[in-house]
Amino acid sequence: MAVTAVPGMVGGRQPLPWMRKLEDERWLAFTLLLPTAILLGLFIAYPFVEGIFLALSDARVGDPGHFVGLKNFAKLWDDSIFWTSVWNTFWYTAVTTVFKLALGLWLAMLLNRHFRGKAIVRAFILLPFIIPTVLSTFAWKWMFDPTFSVINWTLFNLGFIKARINWLGDPSLAMTSIIVVNIWRGVPFFAISLLAGLQTISPELNEAAAIDGARPWARFWLITWPLLLPVTMVVMLFSVIQTFADFQLVYVMTGGGPANATHLFATYAYQIGIGTGLLSQGAAVSLAMFPFLFLIVVIQLLYIRRVEVR
Amino acid sequence: MIEGAVWRKWVFYNIPLILFVFVLLFPFYWMIITSFRPDGELYRPWNAVNYQPFWTNKPTLEHFVYLFEETDFGQWMINTMFIAVTSTLISLFCGVLAGYALARLNFPFAGSLGTVIFVTYLVPQTLLFIPLAEIIRNFHLGDTPWSLILTYPTFLIPFCTWLMMGYFKAIPKELEECARIDGASRFKAMVYIIVPIAVPGILSAGIIAFTLSWNEFIYALVFLSSPEEKTVAVGVTSELIRGDVFFWGSLMAGALLGSVPVAIVYSFFVEHYVSGLTGSVKG
């Protein structure tokens, strides 16, 4: 072996049969994938199986419990808070995704031209996305504070409201407030990703269409949108999954309240599983997310494949 | 771009852009101003007379002092940094190797393993946190930084692998073949020829992985219990809220300081961050 050809190698001391084995692509691939397989196996595959067993038992904190079949799920079926969380999760995901896509696309188009300070604007715009969610959500919670709200102050002084708005105390307003914060956090991700997509579209296409007399709106729907669709679908896939399984935002803003009105799957699972210590029941709530997540992934992947083939 | 009158440019581009920037950045301004205001100014009802919410004439550091003297904030920062850096390094190591194998080697099931990685990339942490908490307890890792250092790679490795696959696929096969003709083994061709070319990708993956682990919340919330073991996000949430009382000044000061490391890393590597983000979307 030409070990000496590469400087800085300790090759001389390495056992030869081992190195020779790595010459076989399959052995090399196996070796390279081993650390990943161990970590993902131990902390994703194993907990997944463990979670199914847990959800089928009556375990609590400090009590391993026994197998009880589908009792936990039957209990959830009759649990009105669970159904509220299911509905909330879907509403939350749907509304925020629509707004994030629309606003993100708008922002991307605003950024897709040359102007002074573009790099700085782009860098600052991503801040809501990179600053830890919990920390920025606290800023929003403070802005929505019932007594000291700066939003109320502004609306009052502009003459829009006469009395205070209890942003997080009123069940339906609380959900809306949470939705606003999620949109705020997600728009930059959509905008920057879609901007990258927009930049791959050749400006000549638009110019040619403009010369042929296409109005801006027609140019958008017939040129930009179809060409952007593959990127859009992938961005949506990530965003929908993250939003569907969101925890931190609701945990900080309302903790699922007022009166359990703003729970999502994850916060409800936390409240039952960790808050009250009913591990099995909490695992069941978490696991109830799985079929929906699975469906979302399958549908979107199929759709992405279709879009890419076209 | 087809240009119109100046007012059109303002109405259709500049004003909407300014509004976007304002709304996206205002909460951070609010965070900063709150952390420097004395309590007396902070807790005035929104409809009080002479209330000036947007500025303070008496900036104070009392909230920062409280943070460092009355809580373990400094320790939380160190914990978070240690956990984020270590788990990022582990994930980069695993992700680079796995990404190389999946992108450049021929072996059975390579395609389906790539799909498996992509699907694990989509597994949210909230799906598994309860059974994982049990497993962490059984492994006697509870309330130690290792409970997070070993579990964060579950969402960082798939991301790094996916991103690195994209970078490795873009490198021409001939490079390795040249090295191998010159007598390098497969392993050495990888380490000395291909990995150095992929350094920009590794940097992107590392930066995003760092921000992701700094951002993680639910595992840290569930796995850690003693105040001195906590991460910034969990510490701020649990130690600066006592029952119904929120220490808003210190909360905002903590949020501000807790964002600084991420903001610094981000500001130095904006381009890498953006290329990583968009690269992960292109897939």
DSSP for A246-292, written as a single string: --HHHHHHTTT-STTTT--HHHHHHIIIIIS--HHHHHHHHHHHHHH
Listed as ranges, residues in chain A with pLDDT below 50 are: 1-12
**Amino acid A6: pLDDT:** 47
Go through A259-286 and write b for each residue having 16 or more CB atoms within 10 A of its CB, e for each that does not: ebbbbbbbbbbbbbbbeeebbbbbbbbb
Q: Give the CA count within 13 Å in the CB-facing half-sphere of B217.
A: 26
Number of domains in chain A: 1
Contacts A251 to B, Cβ<8 Å: 217, 221, 237
ipTM of this model?
Answer: 0.90
Least confident among B49-58, B165-174, B224-233 = B49-58
**Amino acid A8: pLDDT:** 43
In this prediction, residues B51-68 reach a mean pLDDT of 84
State which residues form the domain around A110: 97-136+165-276+290-309
Residue A116 lies in a domain: yes
Task: Give the pLDDT band of residue B10 (cuts 50, 70, 90).
Answer: confident
Q: What is the set of domains in chain B, with CATH numbers?
A: 6-60 (no CATH), 67-282 (1.10.3720.10)
* CB contact (8 A) between residue A6 and residue B184: yes
B256 near B31, Cβ under 8 Å? yes
Question: Of all helices (H) and strands (E), which one includes residue B270?
Answer: helix B270-282
Q: Indicate if the pLDDT at residue B36 is higher than 50.
A: yes
A283 near A55, Cβ under 8 Å? yes
**Amino acid A234: pLDDT:** 87
Residue B238 CB neighbours (<10 A): 14
Contacts B151 to A, Cβ<8 Å: 43
**Amino acid B282: pLDDT:** 63
Residue A43 lies in a domain: no
When scoring A22, A23, A33 by the number of chain B Cβ atoms within 10 A, the one with the most, hence best to mutate, is A33
Query: Residue B71 and residue B74: Cα distance in Å, rounded?
Result: 8
This prediction has a pTM of 0.90
In this prediction, residues B200-212 reach a mean pLDDT of 93
Residue A297 lies in a domain: yes
Residue A104 lies in a domain: yes
Most confident option among A56-65, B159-168, B236-245? B159-168
Residue A85 lies in a domain: no
**Amino acid B4: pLDDT:** 62
Residue A208 lies in a domain: yes
A40 near B116, Cβ under 8 Å? no
Q: Indicate if the pLDDT at residue B150 is higher than 60.
A: yes
Residue A15 lies in a domain: no
* CB contact (8 A) between residue B187 and residue A28: yes
A31 near A22, Cβ under 8 Å? yes
**Amino acid A4: pLDDT:** 44
Contacts B131 to A, Cβ<8 Å: 47-48, 50-51, 54, 283
Residue A259 lies in a domain: yes
Q: Return the CATH number at A181.
A: 1.10.3720.10
* CB contact (8 A) between residue B258 and residue A132: yes
